[in-house]
Amino acid sequence: MNAHPTQTRPPKQKQRAGLLTLAALGVCGCGQAGLEDVRSSEARLDGKDVPAEAVKDQTRRNTTFALALYQQLRRPGENLFFSPLSITTALAMTYAGAAGQTAQQLEQVLRIDATSHAALNVIDQALNSRGQGQGGQAEAFRLTTVSALFGQRGYPYLPPFLSTLARFYGAGLRALDFAAAPEPARATINDWVAGRTEGKIPALLPEGSITGDTRLVLTNAVSFKAAWLNRFDRGATANGDWIGDGGTTRAPLMQRRATFNYASVAGVDVVELPYQGQEVSLLVLAPPAGQLGAFEQSLSEARLAELLGQLQPQDMILTMPRFRVESERRLKEPLMALGLRDALLAGAADLSGMDGTRRLYLSEVHHKAVIDLNEDGTEAAAATGGIVSEVSLPPLVTINRPFLYLIRDKATGAVIFLGRLASPQ
């Protein structure tokens, strides 16, 4: 499946570190002033000639990678939240400059090939169109994805590499002087991420992560802010029992009567909560208490599709926790465990499609994500809707135990965010 030609290894040279960085969640900000923009003159492709089946196939591949990475990141008793979409996008941008065994490993781990750039371009632009045409409700739903590269000023990046990034990711290369001023460069990148996440991720790159040897930083920010289609009543939120792995504790549980897509499969409660506009939804998968680990191990792309296929509209009284989770991970070791080794090792990486040499490698992969889920929606969105009261009571569905959850685009099936809630506290 390797679409990149194998490069002949040049004479041994001093290794220079490249750094792959990832950001997720927030609200898109303005461009960073004072940056020199190095960009291919080619315009971004509109993707209209990409077959719909190719996009669906790429989404299935993305979901398979998302669940595989989830298995590496989950830890018993701990909360988790990350954006597989952000990670896939940034690594696919890396793949645009990979060759040889490095390209093969990216293909195997990400489930991508030479056709994936076009499909990912369609998915990205589709997601960026969500929330448009909602009229007065536009502020109740915002979803934006944006990619950028920060490179060493004056470094000879190859035109084909820059062309691929421009045509399929709409990304240019912003020039910074890592060699002479690594800390100011780190601050500039952190400011760029903070501006696109409404300050939710103010410092993606920790102190010391950028050095004088850094030559390239790839970033992708996924920005999301949405109100529920059916808002929870804050007055109905009350402390209730949360049956966690460590025993029963008290936690704030929200309550809402509405019609949700719902299924109960082998004791697993599956509930879909739509956001304003009904283009994106939150999917909650709650197995019986004490069985989250076993359920996670059994979950695959096919199993997830099977569960989604059984959802049916159900009038109910839904009880579930409000929560806020901040998750920070260094992904080098988890990605290596999945088989992506060469790109992350000095001397082994072949990113010659970027600069024609074997000097670049990914020294670390940083990822931060934040979710704030409450009665109004996700990320403190505007309130809409009201509560309809009736005399008769519908079934009660109570999510008061650890669960897995996804924020998912309904039209493409793209998993934008993925997480587990072990404790709402």
pLDDT given for residue 2 in this prediction: 46
Q: Is 160 left (phi over 0), alpha (psi -120 to 50) or beta?
A: alpha
pLDDT given for residue 378 in this prediction: 52
Going by C-beta distance under 8 Å and a sequence separation of 6 or more, which residues neighbour residue 356?
Answer: 156, 158
Cα diameter, the chain: 80
pLDDT given for residue 139 in this prediction: 58
- pLDDT surpasses 50 at 123: yes
pLDDT given for residue 393 in this prediction: 53
pLDDT given for residue 27 in this prediction: 26
Read off the DSSP letter of residue 138: G
Q: Closest by alpha carbon to 408, among 146, 148, 123, 193?
A: 123
- pLDDT surpasses 60 at 335: yes
Let me know: does 142 contact 224? Beta carbons within 8 Å: yes
Going by C-beta distance under 8 Å and a sequence separation of 6 or more, which residues neighbour residue 50?
Answer: 118, 119, 121, 122
- pLDDT surpasses 80 at 381: no
To 10 degrees, what angle do helices 84-95 and 52-73 make?
Answer: 110
Of 24 and 56, which is predicted with more confidence? 56
Going by C-beta distance under 8 Å and a sequence separation of 6 or more, which residues neighbour residue 302?
Answer: none
- pLDDT surpasses 60 at 371: yes
Q: How far apart are CA 395 and CA 74, in angstroms?
A: 32
pLDDT of 336-359, one tens digit each?
Answer: 999 999 998 888 989 999 889 888
pLDDT given for residue 187 in this prediction: 92
C-alpha distance from residue 42 to each of 99, 147, 161, 166, 211 (Å): 23, 16, 12, 6, 31
The band of 282, judged by pLDDT with boundaries at 50, 70 and 90, is very high
Weakest-pLDDT range from 25-29, 83-87, 227-231, 307-311: 25-29
pLDDT of 124-158, one tens digit each?
Answer: 999 888 887 554 454 567 777 777 788 888 888 89
pLDDT of 251-269, one tens digit each?
Answer: 999 999 999 999 999 999 9
Average pLDDT, stretch 66-85?
93
pLDDT of 9-48, one tens digit each?
Answer: 333 333 333 344 444 432 222 234 456 777 888 999 999 9
pLDDT of 227-240, one tens digit each?
Answer: 898 889 888 899 99
Average pLDDT, stretch 50-59?
97
